[in-house]
Amino acid sequence: GQSLEQPSEVTAVEGAIVQINCTYQTSGFYGLSWYQQHDGGAPTFLSYNALDGLEETGRFSSFLSRSDSYGYLLLQELQMKDSASYFCAVNDDKIIFGKGTRLHILP
Amino acid sequence: EAGVVQSPRYKIIEKKQPVAFWCNPISGHNTLYWYRQNLGQGPELLIRYENEEAVDDSQLPKDRFSAERLKGVDSTLKIQPAELGDSAVYLCASSLGLGQGTTNEKLFFGSGTQLSVL
C-alpha cells in the first residue's frame, strides 16, 4: 500500500522559520513534491526533490532522504500570506498526496 | 498561456441525479489527472490519463463514476447517480508527462468544481 504522513497542523510566528515533515511508504518512488493550497484555492507547486539533499527556492527549501523515506519543507521569514495548507506528494509514476498540514501564522 | 480550465465552478444537485465535470488541460500536456478533495483532506486520485489512455483508474468507483478523454485533450468526469457522500471538490490537473525517473512531474491544477449533493 501507499501512505504519506505529515502533521495535521503547525503554528509559527511571523518572521520565524517552520519545518513541515513528511514520511512516506510507497511501492515505487521517483521523487517528492510539495504543494501549497490557500483556502478556496487550487494546489500550487512549490518544489520537487528526486535526489537526496536540499533544494532551495527563495524563502522555501525542501529536503529529501530516500534511505529514510523522509522529507521536509522549510519555510523561512514567515509571512502572513504563508498561512495555508501544505501537501507532500510522492511521484510513484502517479502523484499521490498526503493529507496536508495546515500552517497557522501568528502576528 | 492559459492554465487548466474547469467548469462548472459550483454544482448543486439532488441525490440520485447525474452530474458531469469538464476539464481543459494546458496545451501540450499529455498527462491529465482527476482528483477528489474533501474538506481538510488531501487530493485523492481518481484517474490518470496519458494522452487518451486511462493508465490508472484503480481508485475510480466504477459503479457510478466514469471518465473519458477523447482525442487526448479535454476530459469529462461523470457521476451517475450521485450520492450524498460524493459532495467534495473535484480537481483536474495536467502535466507535461515526460515519463518516469527523475523527471519533475509538476502538476498544474484547475480551480476545481465544488459539488454539493443534497
Per-residue pLDDT of chain A (107 residues; tens, 9 = 90+): 789 999 999 999 999 999 999 999 988 898 999 999 999 999 999 999 999 999 999 999 999 999 999 999 999 999 999 999 999 999 888 899 999 999 999 99
Query: What region does B61 belong to: left with phi over 0, alpha with psi -120 to 50, or beta?
Result: beta
- A-chain residues near B42 (CB < 8 A): 4, 87, 97-100
> What Cα–Cα distance (Å) separates residue A49 from each residue in A34, A54, A90, B92?
9, 8, 10, 23
- A-chain residues near B108 (CB < 8 A): 45
Banded pLDDT at B99 (limits 50, 70, 90): low
Please judge whether B43 and A93 are an interchain contact, meaning their C-beta atoms are less than 8 angstroms apart. no
Q: Which of A95, A98, A100 sits opposite B105 (nearest CB)?
A: A95
Q: Which backbone phi and psi does B90 adopt, to 5 degrees?
A: -105, 115
Q: Distance (Å) from the C-alpha of residue B56 to the closest C-alpha of chain A? A: 8
Which residue does chain B place closest to A91, by CA atoms? B105
Q: What is the dihedral of CA A60, A61, A64, A68, to 10 degrees?
A: -80
Q: Residue A76 is placed in which grid cell?
A: 523561512
Would you state the pLDDT for residue B17?
Answer: 97
How far is residue A34's CA from residue A87's CA, in Å, rounded to a whole number?
A: 6
- B-chain residues near A43 (CB < 8 A): 43, 91, 93, 107, 109
- B-chain residues near A44 (CB < 8 A): 109
Banded pLDDT at B71 (limits 50, 70, 90): confident
How far is residue B118's CA from residue B15's CA, in Å, rounded to a whole number?
A: 6
Summarize pLDDT for B9-41 with one digit per residue, the tens.
999 999 999 999 999 999 989 899 999 999 999
Lay out the sheet containing B19-24: strands in order across.
Answer: B5-7, B19-24, B75-79, B65-68
Would you state the pLDDT for residue B102?
Answer: 42
Q: Residue A106 is placed in which grid cell?
A: 501568528
